[in-house]
Amino acid sequence: MKSRSEQLFARARERIPAGVNSPVRAFGAVGGSPPFFERASGAWLWDADGRRYIDYVGSWGPMVAGHTHPAVVEAVQAAASRALSFGAPTEAEVELAEAICRLVPSVEQLRLVSSGTEATMTAIRLARGHTGRSLIAKFEGCYHGHADSLLVKAGSGALTFGNPSSAGVPAEVASLTLVLNFNDLPQVEKLFQEKGKQIACVIVEPVAGNMNLVLPKPGFLESLRENCSRYGAVLIFDEVMTGFRVALGGAQARYGIRPDLTTLGKVIGGGLPVGAVGGRREIMQKIAPLGPVYQAGTLSGNPVAVAAGLATLKLVEEKDFQARIEKTTQSLVDGLNSEAKKAKIEFSAQSIGSMFGLYFRALPPTTFAEVMQCDKERFNRFFHAMLARGIYFAPSAYEAGFVSAAHGAPEIEATLAAARASFASL
C-alpha cells in the first residue's frame, strides 16, 4: 500500500515537473520518494502520513527561530488582516531596511526583492553598471540562485572562462563568468594580475553552504577584499544563507571583512519570500529610479512577508539567541563525531553558527575537489536510515544543515540515538 506522500508524489508529477517546485526537493540526489509535509512546529515536522521528524533543513535556512513561532505567526496574521499587498511603499519596508542596515553595517542602503536569486542577479547588474565592466568571477561549488550568468561551471584551463551549467544559458553569457576554486588564494591573485581591470565583481558565499559546508581558509576572504579594492572590482558577499546564521551580522561580522555589496534572503523573510541587495550608498544610488541600473518587482517589500521578516529579526537579535543556537549546533556536531568514531565509520562533521556539515570523509573538506571525495553513497544510506528514524537532514550530500532556536537537548539526544543505530546499519 502506497503511503499518502507516495500517492501525492505520483499525483504531483502529473502537473508539476518531477512533482516539485525546486529540484532538490525531488530526492534525486538521495533516491526514494520525498515525504509531503503538512504541519510544522518548533523543531518538528509532520508528514501526510502523520509521521513526525526533527527538522534540520528549516526550509533551507529561513526557520532559524523554529517553525510557526507564535511571534512570527501573529505578526503575519496581523499584517494579512490589514492588507496582503499594495504595490506601494509601506512603513514596514522602511523598518526592515533600517533593521538590516543596523545589523549589517556594510549595508548603507538596500533594495528588497522576493528571492535570493533576484538579490544576486541585481547585485551582479549593479556591479556591472557601477564599473562599466562585463566580467564577473564566482567560485565552483558556490550557488547564488539561478540567474543565467551564475549558472556557470568551471571550464577547462587555468583561468576558467565558464561554461553553462544549465541548458538554456548561452555560451556567450557564460563566457563572461570566470569560475575559480574556493579557497585557492594563488589563483585569485593570478586572476587579478591578468584581468583585474576587466572584472566588475567577485561574488562569493563567504562561508560556502551549497557544496555542503566549506569554511574560508585564513586569508582567503581578505585576499578577495584586497584585490577587489586594488583593481576597482565590486566584492559581493552572498549572505543569503549565512546572514544572521553564521553570526548576527553574518559571515562579514565573523570574519571582519567589509564587502561592497551583500545579498540576503531566507532569514529576513522568516519563511516568506523576501530577498535583499544592499551595500555602499554610492553603488546603491545607481539603481532605478535613481540611477541607470534597472530593477523592479511587483511583490518586492510585500507587507505580509516583511512582517514575518521583521518578527524573525527581532527574535534573532534577542540576547543569547546566537550563543544558544550555536551551542546546540556544536553539541549536535560533537555528538555525531563521537557516535561515528565509536562505530568506526570514516566521518566528520563541523559547524559554524547554526549551520553544520556532515561528511563521509575523515576530515571536513576545504575545497570543492575535497567535497567530491566524500562518500556520497554512504551519505545517502545514512540519510535514509535517519529519515526512517524520524530525522530529516537535507536530501543531498552537497547541502549544509540548519539548527533552529527551537532545537534543544531532547531533539539532540533523539538525533544522536538515531545516529548510533544508523551508523551501526551502514
- State how beta strands 44-47 and 37-41 pair: antiparallel
Active site residue 143: yes
| Rounded Cα distance, 160 and 162, in Å | 6
Name residues contacting ligand KE4, limited to 94-153 (CB under 6 A). 115-117, 120, 143-145
List the beta bridge partners of residue 45. 40, 53
Active site residue 266: yes
Question: What is the closest distance, in whole angstroms, from the C-beta atom of residue 394 to ligand KE4 in the complex?
Answer: 8
Nearer to ligand KE4, 154 or 203 (CB): 203
Name residues contacting ligand KE4, limited to 264-293 (CB under 6 A). 265, 275
* Site string (178-217) toward ligand KE4, x via CB under 6 A: ---------------------------x---xx-------
Task: State the catalytic residue, choosing from 266, 359, 392, 398.
Answer: 266
407 closest CA partner among 421, 422, 392: 392
Nearer to ligand KE4, 24 or 372 (CB): 24
Binding test (CB under 6 A) with ligand KE4, winner from 55, 93, 140, 238: 238
| Rounded Cα distance, 168 and 398, in Å | 24
List the beta bridge partners of residue 47. 37
Question: What is the closest distance, in whole angstroms, from the C-beta atom of residue 34 to ligand KE4 in the complex?
Answer: 12
Helix (H, G, I), strand (E, B) or coil at 134: coil
| CB burial of residue 46 (10 Å; 0-12, 13-18, 19+) | middle
All 3 cell numbers of residue 335? Answer: 555528538
Contacts with ligand KE4 by CB under 6 A: the residue count is: 19
243-278 CB burial, b ≥16 within 10 A, e <16 = bbbbbbbbbbbbbebebbbbbbbbbbbbbbbbbbbb
Name residues contacting ligand KE4, limited to 31-70 (CB under 6 A). 60
115 closest CA partner among 269, 260, 342, 258: 269
Active site residue 238: yes
Interface with ligand KE4, residue 393, by CB under 6 A: no
Task: State the catalytic residue, choosing from 53, 56, 143, 231.
Answer: 143
Nearer to ligand KE4, 205 or 411 (CB): 205
Interface with ligand KE4, residue 22, by CB under 6 A: yes
**Run of H or E including 97:** helix 91-103
Nearer to ligand KE4, 119 or 418 (CB): 119
All 3 cell numbers of residue 359? Answer: 561528511
Sole window of 126-134, 233-241, 280-288, 312-320 interacting with ligand KE4 (rule: CB under 6 A): 233-241
Which chain residues interact with ligand KE4 by CB under 6 A? 22, 24, 60, 115-117, 120, 143-145, 205, 209-210, 238, 240-241, 265, 275, 399
Query: Which residues belong to the active site?
Result: 143, 238, 266
